[in-house]
Amino acid sequence: MDRLASMETFVRVVETGSFSGAARQLRVGQPAVSKSVAQLEEYLGVKLLTRSTRGLTPTEAGLGYLERARRALEEAAEAERAARGASAGLKGRLRICAAVTFARIHLIPLLPKFLAQHPELDLEVVLDDRQIDLVQEGIDVALRMGKMMDSALTARRIARCKRLVLGTPAYFDRAGPPKTPSELSKHQAVVYLQEGSIWSFRRESSELAVTVQSRLRVTAAEGVRAAVLADVGLTIASEWMFSPELRSGAVRAVLSEWSLPALDLWTVLPTGRAATAKARAFVNFFERAFNA
């Protein structure tokens, strides 16, 4: 049994959810895929997959083996690339995770250039506003914003931006722009649940916390954007979140003499995983392109 080939077969079966899907990707017959997985299970002495009418799902042992198999395949690819020399191109799959709105505005438009630079590399972009388990989801590199709470993650800050109070001209024509943070209590706020309804401001040595009134609370940044652009109310958001509208004038910032805590952007690698050449290449590319 070729252990590395069997590992790859098992990983493909889990990722596609079927023997037939793995067979198509590997360009072999389905019986060969089934036999390879059966041999691997016999060799390990455990069941890796549960077969049911709904498809194939990894067992508890299979989930643990899956991540280590992925890592072993990456390390084997790294060893091959190192042996061939730095001129060898990047190949295989790179799985990236980012928040939905940030990815739509800032990440996705940069990917065609990165793909053109690495024609044999495939990208999978997982869009999720939550901080998902990078190991469980097989993520190679994530883009995350805010404070890094998990010290076990390998993180590097690559950018920082202001957070602003903003709304549409139509909303401010209707409600009037607030002149001080205290006046925000008289306004309708669109609250992003990750931000909360207590907004903290600073000006020189003065600090002020304001509890805003809101009839609309939203769990996703895309919903906050849609509500603000529909003139529902004002919100606090990063410049990144509304950068096209700030440039066009579709939204405008108020209370500019007061500051809110800045927002940091990080590249994050899963716990215990060394950065692959693919992950390093993406991080270096994105940092240069995003900050250009």
Mean pLDDT by 10 residues, the chain (292 residues): 88 85 86 92 91 79 86 76 61 91 96 94 92 80 84 81 97 96 94 91 91 93 96 96 97 96 91 70 94 86
Place of tokens 């067992």: 59
- Res 160: pLDDT: 94
- Res 258: pLDDT: 95
Phi-psi region of 177 (alpha: psi -120 to 50; beta: other; left: phi over 0): beta
- Res 87: pLDDT: 45
Where does 141-272 show beta strands of DSSP type E?
Answer: 141-145, 154-161, 163-167, 188-192, 198-203, 206-211, 213-218, 235-238, 252-254, 263-269
Residues 6+ apart with CB under 8 A from 48: 10, 37, 40, 41, 58, 59, 61, 62, 65
**Greatest C-alpha distance within the chain:** 73
- Res 263: pLDDT: 94
CA distance 41 to 53: 21
How far lies 17's CA from each of 14, 50, 123, 135, 192, in Å? 5, 11, 19, 19, 35
C-alpha closest to that of 257 among 170, 185, 194, 165: 165
- Res 63: pLDDT: 87
C-alpha closest to that of 220 among 100, 94, 131: 100
Q: Pull the structure tokens for residue 124.
A: 């999978």
- Res 92: pLDDT: 85
The total of other beta-carbon atoms located within 10 Å of residue 226's CB is 13
Q: Is the distance from CB of 233 to CB of 131 less than 8 angstroms?
A: no
Q: Pull the structure tokens for residue 5.
A: 């080939």
Question: Residue-wise over 19-56: b if at least 16 C-beta within 10 A, else e?
Answer: bebbbeebeeeeeebbebbeebbeeeeeebbeeeeeeb
Query: Does the global pTM surpass 0.75?
Result: no
- Res 147: pLDDT: 81
**Domains, the chain, ranges and CATH?**
3-83 (1.10.10.10), 89-158+265-291 (3.40.190.10), 163-261 (3.40.190.290)
- Res 179: pLDDT: 94
Q: Pull the structure tokens for residue 169.
A: 């001209």
CA distance 241 to 259: 17
C-alpha closest to that of 42 among 5, 4, 6, 14: 6
